């Protein structure tokens, strides 16, 4: 079972919402924690609430590879080798794919997908080299399973994070490093105000901010799950080495319905040319996949 005490954690999007909840939970477990965020004022406020000598703030634009490497260097120089990584930073854009611009794509992909990629590419080699084991948690969303017309780009990034996390889980298991994907529903956070951190360089084609819609979302998010509840459920899932972390139980039945609809789309077709050979190959792939899942559960 994963022990937290004495480890160093690095959390992106750490100045509010889930990230700040994770910081509080990890500090309570005896971890040293670096909270990274693009909002410097939010970092200052967050640090003020975490009166603990084992926490530091790091200004970070997760979309920048160099920024990420520099932030990792600063954190490890101060707190020691990182062995718990939470790629949690995320933004949202509440519009459909066909009503979006290339700059919309580049902005949301840069934070929600490339931000996670940058976190993995920065820290996975360090975790392997340090040899301390550990765990990586990538924040996706229930939107990595369930989607509507909007927010289309957000859905795309979260589906990608889920698939990337599963693949990473199998490659890091032999090194004693666990990987989980966190799939929350509605959270009490500031993600509804994502436009506040949109870079001017990626604003071409951006639609005017609908202040009334933002106000409605702000009110809705007040009923979101408390970050401290999500953090506690996340740490428990890490201890149990679960891949999927579902802190919101209210989605179970809906997800079961979606899975049933997916399976219902299969058809029993007659065997085509090459069927036997193809099935033979797939049998081998299926066995290897089952082995990878089993070993990832047992090793990390």
The separation between CA 233 and the C-alpha centre of its own chain, rounded to angstroms, equals 15
Name the least confident of 117-126, 168-177, 201-210, 263-272: 201-210
264 pLDDT above the threshold of 90: yes
Rounded Cα gap, residues 90 and 18, in angstroms:
11
Share of the chain above pLDDT 70, in %: 100
The 8-class DSSP code of residue 113 comes to: I
Average pLDDT over residues 114-139: 98
- Residue from 56, 45, 63 nearest 8 by CA: 56
What was the pLDDT predicted at 208? 85
Q: Which two tokens stand for residue 43?
A: 């970092």
* 195 membership: H or E segment, kind and range: none
193 pLDDT above the threshold of 80: no
* 235 membership: H or E segment, kind and range: helix 227-239
Decide: helix, strand or coil at residue 11: strand
56-75 pLDDT, tens digit each:
999 999 999 999 999 999 99
Whole-prediction pTM: 0.96
- What are the Cα distances from residue 124, in Å, to 46, 119, 185? 27, 8, 27
298 pLDDT above the threshold of 70: yes
Residue 126: CB atoms within 10 A of its CB come to: 18
Sequence ranges of the domains in the chain: 8-266
Catalytic residue numbers read: 154
205-256 pLDDT, tens digit each:
888 877 777 777 777 778 899 999 999 999 999 999 999 999 999 999 999 9
146-171 pLDDT, tens digit each:
999 999 999 999 999 999 999 999 99
- Residue from 98, 202, 211, 208 nearest 152 by CA: 98
Average pLDDT over residues 36-58: 94
Gyration radius of the chain over CA positions: 20
What was the pLDDT predicted at 164? 98
- Residue from 3, 62, 13, 53 nearest 33 by CA: 53
**N-term to C-term CA, the chain:** 8
Is 122 within 8 Å of 68 (Cβ atoms)?
yes
What was the pLDDT predicted at 300? 59
What was the pLDDT predicted at 100? 95
- What are the Cα distances from residue 264, in Å, to 143, 192, 254, 258? 21, 35, 15, 10
Place 51 in a pLDDT band, splitting at 50, 70 and 90: confident
Q: Which CATH number fits domain 8-266: 3.40.50.300, 3.40.50.150, 3.90.550.10, 3.40.50.720?
A: 3.40.50.720
Residue with tokens 């009334």: 212
Is 85 within 8 Å of 12 (Cβ atoms)?
no
Give me the sign of the Cα torsion angle 201, 204, 207, 211: positive
284 pLDDT above the threshold of 80: yes
Is 90 within 8 Å of 111 (Cβ atoms)?
yes
Sheet holding 244-245, edge to edge: 55-59, 32-37, 8-12, 82-87, 134-139, 177-182, 244-245
Q: Between these two residues, 159 and 94, which has the higher pLDDT value?
A: 159
Share of the chain above pLDDT 90, in %: 88
- Residue from 21, 153, 150 nearest 88 by CA: 21
Name the least confident of 8-12, 34-38, 206-210, 223-227: 206-210
* 46 membership: H or E segment, kind and range: helix 40-49
Place 277 in a pLDDT band, splitting at 50, 70 and 90: very high
**Considering the chain, what is the average pLDDT of its residues?**
95
């Amino acid at each position: 079972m994963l022990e937290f005490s004495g480890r160093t954690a690095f959390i992106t999007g750490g100045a509010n919402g889930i990230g700040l909840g994770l910081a509080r939970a990890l500090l309570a477990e005896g971890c040293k924690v670096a909270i990274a965020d693009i909002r410097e004022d939010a970092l200052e406020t967050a640090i003020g609430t975490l009166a603990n000598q084992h926490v530091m703030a790091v200004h970070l634009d997760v979309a920048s590879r160099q920024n990420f490497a520099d932030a990792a260097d600063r954190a490890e120089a101060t707190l020691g080798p990182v062995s718990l990584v939470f790629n949690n930073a995320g933004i949202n854009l509440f519009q459909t794919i066909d009503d979006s611009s290339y700059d919309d794509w580049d902005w949301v992909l840069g934070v929600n997908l490339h931000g996670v990629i940058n976190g993995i590419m920065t820290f996975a080699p360090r975790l392997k080299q340090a040899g301390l084991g550990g765990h990586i948690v990538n924040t996706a969303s229930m939107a990595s399973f369930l989607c509507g017309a909007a927010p289309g780009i957000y859905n795309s990034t979260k589906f990608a994070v889920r698939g990337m996390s599963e693949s990473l889980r199998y490659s890091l298991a032999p090194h004693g490093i666990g990987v989980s994907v966190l799939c929350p529903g509605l959270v009490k956070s500031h993600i509804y105000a994502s436009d506040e951190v949109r870079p001017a360089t990626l604003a071409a084609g951006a639609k005017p901010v609908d202040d009334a819609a933002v106000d409605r979302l702000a009110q809705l998010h007040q009923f979101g799950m408390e970050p401290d509840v999500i953090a506690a459920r996340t740490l428990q899932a890490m201890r149990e080495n679960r891949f999927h972390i579902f802190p919101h139980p209210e989605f179970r039945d809906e997800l079961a319905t979606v899975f049933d609809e997916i399976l219902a789309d299969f058809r029993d077709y007659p065997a085509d040319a090459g069927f036997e050979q193809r099935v033979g190959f797939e049998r081998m792939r299926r066995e290897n996949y089952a082995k990878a899942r089993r070993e990832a559960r047992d090793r990390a």
